[in-house]
């Protein structure tokens, strides 16, 4: 057992060492993600999640140092307003101001010449606009299509100055390009319409280069839920055969897309690219004389599910943290009670206080180590690899949970451990060593604590430290109550049933960790995503309708079933 835990600790430490980067410069990317999370949850009326995202921002922001004192103080002031906001509109306004204040601070720390940026942007796009205008004049649809694709590629590579300087102008250019793409993909292309659309696009770009703000920001509280609603309505129209209304609904989707796209681009870059490139094509396909209803419905359904996967990105609750400690704490509690009982039967009851001292020290050190681990795993210093770490560490922890459930807590392992404890206890009593007595108790508790730490490594990165601590406190309170009940019951309670139920919950948590960890790797494009049609997202149990996550969870279920059958055969 000791060797197993040592190996586990080494593996976890090596994994953390590989993913923890050394940052030479200050990065604010994690702060923008926290603001995005708070905005998204506020728009969806998820009060608790919005506050949690703000708390994460505040915790990360507290670690930021800057020579731009005035700009930093402005962020502090707006953050206080966002935290104290009492209404949805007030918080949304404060979050928008917070994002702008953070961007202003970033600009002061990394000063740029915006006029020079616009001029450089204009120089890059001038020949591309000329090439596209020339292709339009030729009337050759193949040349127009190729020119547009080249234009779009260059736009994606150079759009940053527009997005950073004017969200309204950026959104207008994105929408104009999407509508131009719809016209190019039409069954009977209208060159005159394309020329008019391109003229509008060209004028917007020229206005931006000249420093003119001629676009209006899209008004409204739009979110991922809005995108899903538009897709559902479009699918209903497709099913009813009203392709014109379905096409109009996708156009509405395209219009609000620039206001919501950051919520997808920060979590799933490949999905962001697919939506931008495919939605205009879907609009065109819906307006053709022959519509492939099945193909369009399938594509829209896939987009809806992938957006739901992001929307359903799950964190762990304090109950998940409490569950692990309850399972391991219950076993430690039974060992302590057995040691005290052993002392009383040996006529050494006066020494039992040292059992309690050792147990208390073991619990205290385990709790401190768990909190330190949560703090480290939630540190801003691991931001650039946070989600990658969450995925791989989560899978490692799930594998260890399965191993513990199947092997370490099997009858032979527990019996072997108990024999070892009994032998050590006998030696301690014969020598009368108080230190040895306390150490046996400490080791008994810390053994379970070490296993608990391994399990916690899988959930700590996706938990607020406050929630993590709350879970530990709740579990300890429940364990205190259980200790009193068990002490009074004098062995009348069927403890094996407690273990059976607790072990089932541990497997359920392993099921969730596997799903969430694989889903995290999918969002970071480290694992492919194959959507399974017709299945829902159930984030609270970690179920995501993709082939990859389902395979991982099925493997767990098969191992659990095989273990149960094996144990039944052993009993027979």
Q: Which two tokens stand for residue 173?
A: 């250019």
Given a cut of 80, whether residue 556 has pLDDT beyond it is yes
More confident residue, 348 or 65: 65
Q: Is the pLDDT of residue 196 over 50?
A: yes
* Average pLDDT over every residue of 103-124: 82
pLDDT at 446 (0 to 100)? 66
Cα angle, residue 475 at apex, residues 473 and 477 outer, rounded to 5°: 70
pTM value > 0.85:
no
Q: What was the pLDDT predicted at 391? A: 63
- What does the alpha-carbon distance between residue 397 and residue 451 come to, in Å, rounded to a whole number? 10
Task: State how far the Cα of 148 lies from the Cα of 154, in Å rounded to an integer.
Answer: 10
Tens digits of per-residue pLDDT, 479-538? Answer: 888 777 777 765 555 555 655 666 677 777 778 878 887 887 877 677 888 888 778 778
Q: Which residue has the tokens 């060593």?
A: 433
Nearest Cα to 421, choosing from 325, 479, 338?
A: 338
Do residues 174 and 218 touch, judged by C-beta distance below 8 A? no
Written as one string, the DSSP assignment of 215-279 is --PPPS---HHHHHHHHHHHHHHHHHT-HHHHHHHHHHHHHHHHHHHHHHHTT-HHHHHHHHHHH
Of 291-295, 356-360, 498-502, 514-518, the range with the highest mean pLDDT is 291-295
Is the pLDDT higher at 289 or at 446? Answer: 289
Asked if residues 482 and 411 have their Cβ atoms less than 8 Å apart, the reply is no
Q: Which residues contact 537 (CB under 8 A, 6 or more apart)?
A: 305, 308, 309, 311, 312, 543, 544, 545
Question: What is the distance in angstroms between the CA of the first residue and the CA of the last residue of the chain?
Answer: 27
**Which of 198, 170, 325 is closest to 262 using CA atoms?**
170
Record the tokens describing residue 54, joined without a space: 């703000």
For 379, other C-beta atoms within 10 Å of its C-beta total 14
Query: Whose structure tokens read 């980067």?
Result: 21
The closest of 177, 164, 151 to 255, measured between CA atoms, is 177
Beta bridge partners of 531: 546
Residue 341 has what pLDDT?
A: 65
Lowest mean pLDDT among 93-97, 148-152, 312-316: 312-316
381 burial via Cβ count (<10 Å: 0-12, 13-18, 19+) = middle
Classify the phi-psi angles of 25: left when phi > 0, otherwise alpha if psi is within -120 to 50, otherwise beta. Answer: beta
Tokens standing for residue 164 = 């950073």
User: Residue 335: enclosing H or E segment and its boundaries?
Assistant: helix 318-345
The pLDDT score that the predictor gives to residue 381 is 43
Alpha-helical segments (H) within 85-212: 88-109, 114-138, 141-158, 160-165, 167-184, 191-209
* Whole-angstrom distance, CA of residue 535 vs CA of residue 544: 8
- Most confident segment among 259-268, 308-317, 468-477: 468-477
Contacts of residue 401, Cβ cutoff 8 Å, sequence gap at least 6: 455, 458, 506, 507, 509, 510, 513
Q: pLDDT tier at 273 (50, 70, 90 boundaries)?
A: confident
| Cα–Cα distance, 227 to 308 (Å, whole number) | 10
Residue ranges of alpha helices (H) inside 347-410 are 352-377, 386-403
pLDDT band at 473 (very low <50, low <70, confident <90, very high): confident
Backbone φ/ψ region at 464: left (φ over 0), alpha (ψ -120 to 50), beta: beta
Mean pLDDT of the chain: 76
Residue 404 clears pLDDT 60, i.e. is over it = no
């Amino acid at each position: 057992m000791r060797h197993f835990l040592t190996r586990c600790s080494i593996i976890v430490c090596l994994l953390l060492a590989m993913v923890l980067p050394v940052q030479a410069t200050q990065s604010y990317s994690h702060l923008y993600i926290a603001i995005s999370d708070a905005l998204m949850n506020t728009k969806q009326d998820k009060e608790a999640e919005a506050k949690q995202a703000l708390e994460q921002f505040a915790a990360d922001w507290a670690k930021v140092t800057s020579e731009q004192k005035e700009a930093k103080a402005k962020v502090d002031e707006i953050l206080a307003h966002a935290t104290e906001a009492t209404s949805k509109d007030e918080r949304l306004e404060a979050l928008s101001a917070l994002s702008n204040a953070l961007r202003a601070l970033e600009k002061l720390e990394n000063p740029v010449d915006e006029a020079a940026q616009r001029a450089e942007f204009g120089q890059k796009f001038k020949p591309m606009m000329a090439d596209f205008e020339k292709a339009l004049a030729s009337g050759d649809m193949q040349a127009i299509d190729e020119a547009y694709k080249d234009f779009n590629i260059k736009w994606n590579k150079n759009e940053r100055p527009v997005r950073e300087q004017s969200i309204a102008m950026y959104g207008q250019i994105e929408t104009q390009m999407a509508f131009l793409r719809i016209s190019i993909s039409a069954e009977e292309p209208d060159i005159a319409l394309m020329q008019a659309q391109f003229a509008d696009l060209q004028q917007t770009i020229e206005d931006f280069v000249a420093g003119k703000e001629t676009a209006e920001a899209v008004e409204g509280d739009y979110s991922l839920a809005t995108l899903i609603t538009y897709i559902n309505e479009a699918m209903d129209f497709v099913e009813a055969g009203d392709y014109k209304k379905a096409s109009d609904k996708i156009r509405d989707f395209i219009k609000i897309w620039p206001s919501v796209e950051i919520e997808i681009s920060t979590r799933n870059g490949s999905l962001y690219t697919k939506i931008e490139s495919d939605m205009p094509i879907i609009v065109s396909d819906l307006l053709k004389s022959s519509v492939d209803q099945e193909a369009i419905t399938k594509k829209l359904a896939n987009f809806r599910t992938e957006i739901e996967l992001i929307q359903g990105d799950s964190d762990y609750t304090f109950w998940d943290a409490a569950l692990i400690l309850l399972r391991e704490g219950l076993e430690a509690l039974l060992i302590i009670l057995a040691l005290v009982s052993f002392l009383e039967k040996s006529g050494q009851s006066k020494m039992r206080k040292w059992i309690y001292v050792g147990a208390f020290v073991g619990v205290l050190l385990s709790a401190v180590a768990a909190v330190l681990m949560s703090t480290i795993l939630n540190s801003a210093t691991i931001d650039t690899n946070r989600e990658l770490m969450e995925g791989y560490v989560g899978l490692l922890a799930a594998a260890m949970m399965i191993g513990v459930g199947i092997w370490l807590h099997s009858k032979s392992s527990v019996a072997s451990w108990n024999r070892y404890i009994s032998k050590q206890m006998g030696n301690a009593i014969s020598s009368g060593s108080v230190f040895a007595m306390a150490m046996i108790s400490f080791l008994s508790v810390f053994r379970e604590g070490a296993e608990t730490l391994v399990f916690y490594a899988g959930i700590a990165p996706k938990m607020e430290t406050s929630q993590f601590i709350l879970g530990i406190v709740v579990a300890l309170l429940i364990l205190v109550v259980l200790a009193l009940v068990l002490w009074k019951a004098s062995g009348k309670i069927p403890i094996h049933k407690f273990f059976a139920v607790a072990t089932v919950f541990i497997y359920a948590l392993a099921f969730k960790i596997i799903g969430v960890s694989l889903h995290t790797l999918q969002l970071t494009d480290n694992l492919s995503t194959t959507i399974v049609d017709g299945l829902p997202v159930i984030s609270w149990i970690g179920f995501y309708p993709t082939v990859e996550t389902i395979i991982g969870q099925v493997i767990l279920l098969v191992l659990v079933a095989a273990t149960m059958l094996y144990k039944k055969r052993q009993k027979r």
